[in-house]
Structure 1
Amino acid sequence: MNTNSVQFFNAKEDEKFPESSAIIIAAWHLSNAENIGKIIRLAHNLGAIEVLFVRQSENHRESKIKKTAGFSYEQMNWRFVSENDFIELLGADYELTIVETCDGATNIFREKLPQKTILLAGSESHGLPESIIKMANKSVYIPMPGGCKSLNISNALSVAAFEWYRQQTCM
């Protein structure tokens, strides 16, 4: 029985997404260092181009981020950017897809996601500001049929990012 995940996944070369597809994962004003580390690791697992953490300052517990991200901390391309720098990055190459419970959002499992996207989710407590919601090319939500109607941001981005991946490789 093979329990080595590196060997297992290296044998699955056919599961890479097409070169015409690309994803950047972004998070808005996170305050929890563990969530930052989890998102770095998620992006590295997925093969994302980079991770953007939009926030005004870089005061964070680097040791906590590093511990949670594991070896992805050094291997994944990630950075903190200001709100203005993030807005300037939005352009013709990537469509902005937001994961948010807002007016006009559609069920992520019924929505065709862009081949090239910046996948953005909001802070743990406040979500995304209206100005950013208005800039989005697509607004999606994750259906929650159970009693709890919220997901941790790292979990929400995981669900959304792997739905994007599924669409790139299976449709």
Structure 2
Amino acid sequence: MAVNNREYLVLPRRLSRMREVLARRQKDLVLFMDRVRNEHNFSALIRTAEAVGVLRIIYGLVEGDRVPINEAVTQGAHRWVFLEETRNPAESLRRLREEGFQVVVTWLGAGTLDFREVDYTRPTVIVVGNEAEGVSPELLPMATHRIRIPMVGMVRSLNVSVATGIILYEAFRQREAAGLYEESRLSGSEMEEILRRWAYEDVIRERRR
């Protein structure tokens, strides 16, 4: 269904803000959450990813788990990204690699790079894992890079939402320096399709609640 500007159900100022935000969305920077179960972490990850322009977040949960979104933590950020559940994380990552994405996996084991050594201006999916166990072993063969955040303290790991925030903002820094936020990464038709959802379908859905 085509929707023109006169049919959008938001004020012009709101619509202008949506267009401004979409012009900076990075459709080739994807966050992949593997079995992140804590609702504060899950929600904080969404909020940080949205803040740096991530458009798409893929997540896999333990069977039977509900999507642990806490709206007090996301502050509405979950409304402005595409959340996609996967039942087969390894297959999802394999498809992303076939599409030309590098798969950057956080890992505390051997054979890792300093996270700052990765070129995040390339199409990139950042994979972060469960709070206690990290990324599932079956996902490691899908990695093009395994990364670590250097630490010099007695504790050798960070909370997953903190660690991911550090990595995402390194990606943001590199992409901003390369000018990737200066021109829209979305085509005109992609932008209009998202606006139809944000400024029309979602508004109707909210009114019916």
**Unaligned stretches of 5+ residues in structure 2:** 1-16, 179-209
Q: Percent identity?
A: 17
Per the TM alignment, residue 44 of structure 1 is displaced from its structure 2 partner at its CA by: 0.8
Residue type matched to 1:119 in 2?
I
Alpha-carbon distance between aligned partners in 2 of 1:72 and 1:164, rounded to the nearest angstrom: 19
**Unaligned stretches of 5+ residues in structure 1:** 1-9
What SS does the aligned partner of 1:115 have? coil
**Which residue of structure 1 aligns with residue 129 of structure 2?**
122
User: What RMSD, in angstroms, separates the aligned Cα atoms of the two structures?
Assistant: 2.5
**1:149 equivalent among 149, 156, 169:** 156
TM-score by length of 1: 0.78
Largest Rg, 1 or 2: 2
Per the TM alignment, residue 54 of structure 1 is displaced from its structure 2 partner at its CA by: 1.2
Alpha-carbon distance between aligned partners in 1 of 2:40 and 2:94, rounded to the nearest angstrom: 27
Residue type matched to 1:75 in 2?
W
Preserved contact between residue 99 and residue 160 of structure 1 (Cα < 8 Å): no
**Which residue of structure 2 aligns with residue 3 of structure 1?**
none
Preserved contact between residue 54 and residue 86 of structure 1 (Cα < 8 Å): no
- Kindly tell me the number of residue pairs found equivalent between the two proteins: 156
Per the TM alignment, residue 164 of structure 1 is displaced from its structure 2 partner at its CA by: 1.4
TM-score by length of 2: 0.65
Preserved contact between residue 97 and residue 117 of structure 1 (Cα < 8 Å): yes
Alpha-carbon distance between aligned partners in 2 of 1:110 and 1:93, rounded to the nearest angstrom: 19
**Which residue of structure 2 aligns with residue 168 of structure 1?**
175
Asked if 1:39 corresponds to 2:49, the answer is: no
Per the TM alignment, residue 105 of structure 1 is displaced from its structure 2 partner at its CA by: 0.7
Preserved contact between residue 34 and residue 68 of structure 1 (Cα < 8 Å): yes
What SS does the aligned partner of 2:124 have? strand
Preserved contact between residue 100 and residue 139 of structure 1 (Cα < 8 Å): yes
